[in-house]
Structure 1
Amino acid sequence: ARIEAGRLSLEPGPVRFDELLRELADMFEPQAAAKGLGFRFEPQGALPGWVRADEQRLRQILINLLGNAIKFTAAGEVTLRVRHGREMATLEIADTGPGMDAAELARIFEPFARGTRGTGGAPGAGLGLTIAKMLTELMGGEMSATSTPGQGSTFRVRLFLPELHGRIWDTPRMRRVAKERIGLDGASPRVLVVDNESDDRQLLIELLEPLGFTVREACSGHDALDLVAAGWVPDAVLMDLAMPGIDGWETIRRLRRMLGDLGVQAPAVAVVSANAFERGQDNDAGIA
């Protein structure tokens, strides 16, 4: 994801905390297994069903930390530990990688700083930990790291995530949708909503989730590509066109190239935009 100076903001709202963590564990377990690594998800005590947080930022933090742990661990395992109490969440990502000495540990959150042991030529710009720490601090939390050379590293995140109670979805709009719509049977299809307008994303989420869809959101083309690159492949994409950075058409093209290179079937794409075919926009992405 891109971070532009002075343009970061938070959009807190209800988050299915336990479900988000289990979904991330399910996402990264096969990535670890592909490298011959073990992956353990260890909730410590009961986790709240709902908390108040910026889900996108929280997801970015954990994806960066888990992806980094798997990338730089050659043997052993990666562990995600989580506990929640007194409105505070503590999340630990531990690995059995090469570890870091004191000098490396002191610089680990600096841009482009990467440990010298066991990188194995792993790709990346060295920004993942910098971004994760920046987002953690944006959310009012703190991130720290401990490490022992030859044994591994542990990254710890502490965030204020107040638990929410009651039927969170039970708003007038959601009750109306649930009453008027018929839900799905069988497996829950994955839908990715890509739009830079938060209100438009939320409207689609509120329409789709009560029907049984599993919905994730991205506020830009870059964020959508990052999510898919991390392993969350949707069955369908609802794409806005007029977005800052790369527009919807370019996002569709890059998404299809990315999945084609991986041998994965591209998802169905629907354009959700007021100006989809106006002002001479060139539709060369095969959208009818």
Structure 2
Amino acid sequence: MMTDTAAHTPDTATGPALRPAGVDYPEFLPGWVWLVGAGPGDPGLLTLYALQALQQADVIVYDALVDDRILALAPPATERLYAGKRGGRPSAKQADISETLVALARSGRRVLRLKGGDPFVFGRGAEECQFLHAHGIPFRVVSGITAGIGGLAAAGIPATVRETNAAITFITGHAANGEVPDSLNWNALAHASPVLVFYMGLKHLPVIVDRLVAAGRSADTPAAAVAEATTPRQRVVTATLGTLVEAIRTAGLHPPAIVVVGEVVSLRQIIAAGARQAGP
């Protein structure tokens, strides 16, 4: 389901992009598709290449989690095509999105495929690259800050701390069929990775918690959920692994959200407090 919707088109746009000296800006050529990560939400976390793409694209094919403030950085006349996917809601089919990218590029337009976070972190960017390559469409990939890094930082939770973890694992909370992935080695996750970050995991969090605890992860491990990270609507709930499901239910937290399990969560109190004291 691909829609051309004025309702998703912001009313304002900024002026020309800043172009600091010393940056080699690749030309956004007609007939090309750029797959660009929009980051977790805050427009300030965009890359310079992402900003260039927003201001030069002829058409933007964007996902559900792309913040309206980011879309507003494109000129008002730029066409915007909504191609969002949200669990349990009517969503665009991946095959339709890929076909649309090819058709737009073949029409000679500069096509920006704008994805929340990073295109290659649970973003199906690799699938779209393969499809474009198979159809002879040139493309470029521009990385974005993934929620498992930027979202944690915004919540005052470091991804790594020298004293607590030398590894971090990113995990999707649901597979293509909408269920918890059956290929996960829960015993390895429970024992081998000090910090676990689950994307799209709220729906199946009770199952995830049960499997981690059954595999040997302590129910007393610090844990947190960060919803709508880096946006004005950001909310953070901290608890333990064993109490996180109830804490989220009590707080009324809803997707999109990431869940982090590990001792790094215990540093939030210090880091978040320090950030508040420092001010904007």
Give the TM-score, by structure 1 length. 0.28
Bigger strand share: 1
Higher RCO (CA-CA < 8 Å; seq separation 6+): 2
Give the TM-score, by structure 2 length. 0.29
